[in-house]
A = this chain, B = another copy of it.
Amino acid sequence: MGFKDILSFDERGLIPAIAQDKETGRILMVAWMNHEALTKTIQTKQAVYFSRSRCKLWHKGEESGHVQHVHEIRTDCDGDVILLTVTQEQQIACHTGRTSCFYKRLDWETQTWEAVDPVMKDPKDIYHHE
């Protein structure tokens, strides 16, 4: 039995994957994987996702250098979510230059979202498009 047999990929052939920082426990991001992305993640021990917008494999950090080194892979009781424990290169997972993509916190009083985490690096210095 292959390791993918207990996993529930959705009708698009995708499964959500959470990346959690090994040291801090922070949740860095959530992305998607297909069979091939998961296989490559296991083979390379670096996070490889499937980009829904670009419709192709996305080796996290391929452009930014913000690679995620994978220490552990888990799934849940239903087998419909993947959890990666990672070391995040340069401590920046988010394309906004922040450590985590989860930087917007709900203010209970005003019921508005507030960006509460600092930008560690200007995105212009992360991505160098022609």
Contact with B along A71-84 (1 / 0, CB 8 A): 01111111101010
Q: Residue A6 at the B interface, CB < 8 A?
A: yes
Q: How far, in angstroms, from A42 to B108 measured CA to CA in the complex?
A: 8
Which residues does A use to contact B, with CB under 8 Å? 1-3, 6, 16, 18, 20, 24-27, 29-30, 42, 72-79, 81, 83, 94-96, 98, 100-106, 108, 111-113
Question: What are 30 pairs between A and B in contact, CB < 8 Å?
Answer: A1-B112, A3-B112, A6-B113, A18-B18, A20-B27, A24-B25, A25-B26, A27-B27, A29-B76, A42-B106, A42-B108, A42-B111, A72-B105, A72-B106, A73-B106, A74-B102, A74-B103, A74-B104, A74-B106, A75-B104, A76-B94, A76-B100, A76-B101, A76-B103, A77-B96, A77-B98, A77-B101, A77-B103, A81-B102, A83-B102
